[in-house]
Amino acid sequence: QVSLRESGPAVVKPRQTLTLTCTFSGFSLTARGMCVSWIRQPPGKALEWLARIDWDDNKFYNTSLKTRLAISRDTSRNQVVLTMTDMDPVDTATYFCARTLMVATSKMLDSWGQGARVTVFS
């Protein structure tokens, strides 16, 4: 059974760096086609994809946020870490991690974590 869980600070101050950890189980991030994405959702707003790390350690980022994001993995601990620098109140959102399956021409986020609510507040 696939499971993902986000963890990190609930509150960060402006200009600080946010570090979120996604701990997962039920799949191997080194298996071909397996990836983990981060997605965020500001209160009352739509989903926004942030970043993805693949089975081969390739990394991809939202173009508009690329300079502020870094994604990495620890396969021995089944964890994916997202850092976002220079946090601003507009970054207040729920941050989700999701398993992303890249199988043939299918590219889907098929299992999601419960989300981590992050408020940027001084």
Measured CA to CA, the distance from residue 40 to residue 52 in angstroms comes to: 13
* Nearest to another protein of 16, 60 (CB atom): 60
Residue at token pair 């001084």? 122
Site for another protein in 21-50 (CB under 8 A): 37, 39, 46-49
Among 107, 109, 86, which residue's Cα sits nearest to residue 99? Answer: 109
Contact residue for another protein among 16, 85, 112, 119 (CB under 8 A): 112
Q: Which is nearer to another protein, 97 or 120 (CB)?
A: 97
Examine residue 114 and tell whether it contacts another protein (CB under 8 A): yes
Instruction: Please state, in angstroms and rounded to a whole number, the distance separating the CA atoms of residues 122 and 108.
Output: 37
CB of 25 to another protein, least distance (A): 16
- Bridge partners (DSSP) of residue 60 are 52
DSSP three-state, residue 65: helix
Site for another protein in 50-109 (CB under 8 A): 51-52, 60-63, 96, 98, 105-109
Q: Are 54 and 31 in contact (CB under 8 A)?
A: no
Give the interface with another protein as residue ranges (CB under 8 A).
37, 39, 46-49, 51-52, 60-63, 96, 98, 105-115
